[in-house]
Structure 1
Amino acid sequence: MSQNYLNDNGSKEKMIVGQNYFDELVMRSFFQDIKVDERNGNIECKIHDIVHDFLQYLTKNECLMLDVEMDDTKRKKVSYDKIRHFTSMQSTDREFLEHFLPDCKKLRTLVYSYSNSIPIDARVEMIAELKSLRTLILLQWPFKEIPETMGGLIHLRYLDLSGNSKLKELPSAVGSLYNLQTLRLEGCRSLTRIDVRRLINLRHLYVEDCFSLRLIKGIEKLTHMQRLDWFYVRDGGDEGGNKLEHLTNLNQLQGCLVIDMDRFPSTAENNAAIMKNKAHILDLYLFFAGRSRSTEDDRQIMNRLEPHPSLESLIIFRYEGGTFSDWLSSLHSLRVLRLRDCLSCEILPSLGKLASLESLEILGLHKVSKVGVEFLGIEQGQTSSSSSVFVSFPKLKKLTIEGMGSWEEWEGVEEGNSENITIMPFLDQLTIERCERLKALPDFLWKTPLQKLNISNSPILKNLYGQENGEERTKISYIPSIQIQDTCCIC
């Protein structure tokens, strides 16, 4: 995208065209050993050695990678005026870089990892003269500030400053980079604010691990934004901070989004449907961290964060509401759900009707003492007298429940009322850890096709199911893999 290699003819978004190109090359085995980071979409892959060598031969006059010091013989062969793409990794050759960069007037790509051979200011000054740059990657530079001269790189489409832990603020001149499509600032932990109001072509913004970031000024105006990996809801002082309502109109967002909340919402935020229209967000992380709030505050926030029904993965962390919002039971495309450290919740939500759910993790809900049939999605009065067949958790394969210190009872369905009810027909793996008070597992579990049962740090269950010749042990004897132990590794 940054080199304008994608021929879309105006009919498709370039992201889609680029993905199609990549998928086509994968299908033809041009790319191999594909690894995709599900959260940020980063891709690692390889190409065959022969293909690699051939490509290097074809592009030897355009592409230069310098990962060691270059000897004089090779230096003389470099055609500075023809080089378009340059990567410098761990180079300590100061003299070469000082003479090389100024001569590469037509450089389109510069990937430059920091080394201490040349003062930062001198290097930035050289880079600022490369007016044809489309892609600039400066990894782990100890910037405290970026000079205004960087605003002269008006053709820049891709800028990566990740790992610059001392950088506190981007200069106003960055607003002059009106062609910028992608801005990566991951790991810039001192960064406090970003002004994106004039970056009208910005489509991809990555700010994971920018823990001090309180304000992305103008983010609400970039309605064509496609990727925003992390959004910190913070108090920004006099200038104001990020607000949930800033996300309301960013309905083109795709992939994964983490919303990290550290303050109370405003009245306007409570009255806005923040996530409902974001059909392309597939993975959503909701972190209710930081300052203490009342259960009603969290409940109101959660109600406003109802996702689009197309959501596939959801993690809720440190939610302090007493009960979960009703919308949680209606996400019928949801495949993965994790509820963690929701310390005020006393009742598990009704999840049994989630038609696509394959993996469910419930961790650290310490106030839950009983899990009833409502968890299975079975409504009161629903018995075998009903003519319709009900399947609870129709696709669930993996169930993990950990750290439920108050949990004593797991209620099943009475034998006479279960003829038209099927529960967890595809359950493959069940893990129960640190549930010290749980008295027994429900009998419906022994009708599931369980392949793995792991029980640890749950002494009552260990005594009940751990005796080799015990009556309860015979109920689980059909399971191929059973592990019942006193201790577990807590990470």
Structure 2
Amino acid sequence: MGSTTMFQLGQLSQEECWSLFSRVAFSGRTSKECQSLEDIGMKVANKCQGLPLAAKVLGGLLRFKRSREQWQSVLDSEIWELEEAGKESSFNERGRHLMLKLKDKALSLDSICNVKALRTLLVESQSINNSVANAVLPQLLDQPKCLRAVDLSMPRFGCLIEELPKEIGKLTHLRYLNLSNHGDLQILPEVMCDLCNLQTLDITGCRKLEKLPHGIGKLINLRHLLNKGTQRLKFMPKGVEKLASLRTLMKFIVSADAIGNEISTLSDLKNLNQIRGCLEIRGLRNLTDVSEVEQAQLQNKKNLLVLELSFDSDWENFSGKKGEQRVKIDGKTLLEALQPPPFLEKLEIRHYRGPTVFPSWMISLTKLKSLDLSHCKNWKSLPPLGKLPSLESLRIRNMERVKKVGDEFLGLEGDQGQASSSFITAFPNLEHLRFEGLRSWKKWHYGIPSTSSREESVKIMPILSSLEIWGCIKLQSLPDHILQMTTLNKLYIHRSPILSERCRKDTGEYWPSIAHTPNIVINGEYIKREGQ
């Protein structure tokens, strides 16, 4: 069998407790957000009384609360009834927060299974045999009826349990359940849907998980569903639309096989207007009715900052039930219907199979800072992305049919009639630009005459600081604005043999033009490094 080691956790110093709490609570936030919440966060960390488990769990809970008001509410709440594991009493009488480590030795739960008032449970495994956890957890979860937080998370791609014990359904006071990175967990039991007070469910990295409970709509208080990295999930169960309190939904899957009322469709996102942060929508290739997209009303998700749209990689070969050929929606029409909210800051589009398109809604994304376009294999040219006023980072990957990048990329075609005295700026705020895997790309050239007054009135990427070119094996040259740029801090060229040769130190024809760049990396080797 195996054994458990019970830790009556020692106290951290104030600085150590703050470091642990802030690392968890501020994960994924901007520096501006961190500064805004730091003063309240320090007070919360101090109230953890140096308990590492409290700091970790409360940091996890606050990670998804965005406003100062929400953080203040936690600070002022009644959860701070922390009692030390008694100086004169046993753990069983006074303990509230327990960290348990499982080992491959003799099993004894006598000292902990009577912890009726336990509030927080963190289980770690040092066993290579998950049968230890499978034996211990049912007994352990069957005892404490007042648990508020259970953390069974594992290091990346670990395995503590293969199946969640049915006893989990008895923890009706549970608010936080972390099952992240359980590599062998395949199914969540239906009894989980009895956890009516559950607010956070973290199944991040459960890569073998095949489905969510069909009764998920009963989790009416669920606010955060972290389901990134669940590659085998093929659908979202019906009932997701009932989760009116949902704030975080990391991924929504559009299923190829909608069966009666068992599977949610994209239109079920209609009333989930409180979701915020990041949302990935996979399986867009499976849509057969554009009205389903329009009913989802993505544009009304005002707090959504990051949107990933994945059409998936097997567009041509998908089908519904055996022998049935599904009808595809015109790609341009579909992308136009996927209008995101106006305050979006990051957008990613993958495996789009329609023609080159610049949706009408794109120019309205005045807050868009990051754009990632990949595997749009029918694009022969790039859209006029230079029109995006706030774009800071642009990554373009695996566009197999693009052979030339020119004026269309800048978005200046419609400005030819403007007076030469008016200044036009393409990519006014772009700082980072990366091209990767454009294997047919040969020419990067703009048709602005070098002697014209128009050249003086057009600025291209005036604050670009980083340019990366990966795997563009046919690209022959860099445009003048790159060679003349004084703001460029890093030039990275990899597996692009023609450019690599032209940028060779001292002997390459581009070297005199790029030698002022502080950092130059060719095929993984620094040929110039700032300060050297």
Once the two structures are superposed, the pairs formed by residues 190-205 of structure 1 within 5 Å of their partners are: 190-194=209-213, 195-205=215-225
Q: Distance in 2 between matches of 1:103 and 1:170?
A: 26
* Residue pairs, 1:63-462, within 5 angstroms: 78-91=90-103, 95-97=107-109, 99-114=110-125, 120=134, 123-139=137-153, 140-144=159-163, 146-147=165-166, 149-188=167-206, 189-194=208-213, 195-213=215-233, 214-236=235-257, 238-239=259-260, 240-261=262-283, 263-267=285-289, 268-293=291-316, 297-326=330-359, 327-382=361-416, 385-412=419-446, 413-415=448-450, 416=452, 417-448=454-485, 449-462=487-500
Write the distance in 2 (CA, Å) between the matches of 1:486 and 1:137: 41
- Counterpart AA for 1:196: I
Task: Map Cα deviations across residues 276-317 of structure 1 (whole Å, 9 max, x no partner).
Answer: 111211122222214324995443332222211211122222
DSSP-derived class of the 2:382 partner? coil
Distance (whole Å) between structure 1 residues aligned to residue 282 and residue 106 of structure 2: 42
| Alignment CA distance shift 1:480-1:154 (3 Å) | closer
Contact 1:361 1:399 in 2 (8 A): yes
CA distance in 1, matches of 2:37, 2:100: 25
In 2, distance between residues paired with 1:266 and 1:201? 32
CA separation in 2, counterparts of 1:431 and 1:342?
19
Q: What is the aligned residue count?
A: 440
CA contact (8 A) 2:433 2:467 kept: yes
Q: Structure 1 unaligned segments of length 5 or more: list them.
A: 1-15, 44-57, 63-73
- With normalisation by structure 1, the TM-score equals 0.79
Q: Go from structure 1 to structure 2 and tell me whether the alpha carbon gap of 1:22 and 1:110 turns closer, same or farther (over 3 Å shift).
A: farther
SS in 1 for 2:169: helix
Which amino acid letter does the alignment assign opposite residue 358 of structure 1?
E
Alpha-carbon distance in structure 2 between the residues aligned to 1:88 and 1:338: 42
> C-alpha distance in 2, partners of 1:398/1:335?
10
Tell me the residue number matched to 2:14.
none
User: Are the counterparts in 2 of residues 287 and 317 from structure 1 also a CA contact under 8 Å?
Assistant: yes
Deviates more, 1:123-132 or 1:195-204: 123-132
Correspondence for 2:39:
24
CA distance in 2, matches of 1:434, 1:163: 32
Separation of aligned partners in 2, 1:251 and 1:277: 6
Tell me the distance in 1 between the aligned counterparts of 2:495 and 2:180.
Answer: 42
> Does the Cα contact within 8 Å between 2:431 and 2:463 map onto a contact in 1?
yes
| Superposition deviation, residue 252 in structure 1 | 0.8
Deviation for aligned residue 1:375? 1.1
Q: Percent identity?
A: 35
CA positional deviation for 1:176? 2.0
1:7 equivalent in structure 2: none
User: CA-to-partner distance for each residue in 1:367-413, whole Å, 9 max, x for gaps?
Assistant: 11121212112133526734422111111111111211221222222
Structure 2: state its 5+ residue gaps.
Answer: 1-28, 47-54, 66-81, 154-158, 317-326, 527-532
After TM superposition, the structure 1 stretch with the greater mean CA deviation from structure 2, 268-277 or 379-388, is 379-388
Q: Secondary structure at the match of 2:307?
A: strand
The answer to whether the 8 A contact 1:236-1:242 is kept is no
How far did 1:86 drift? 0.8
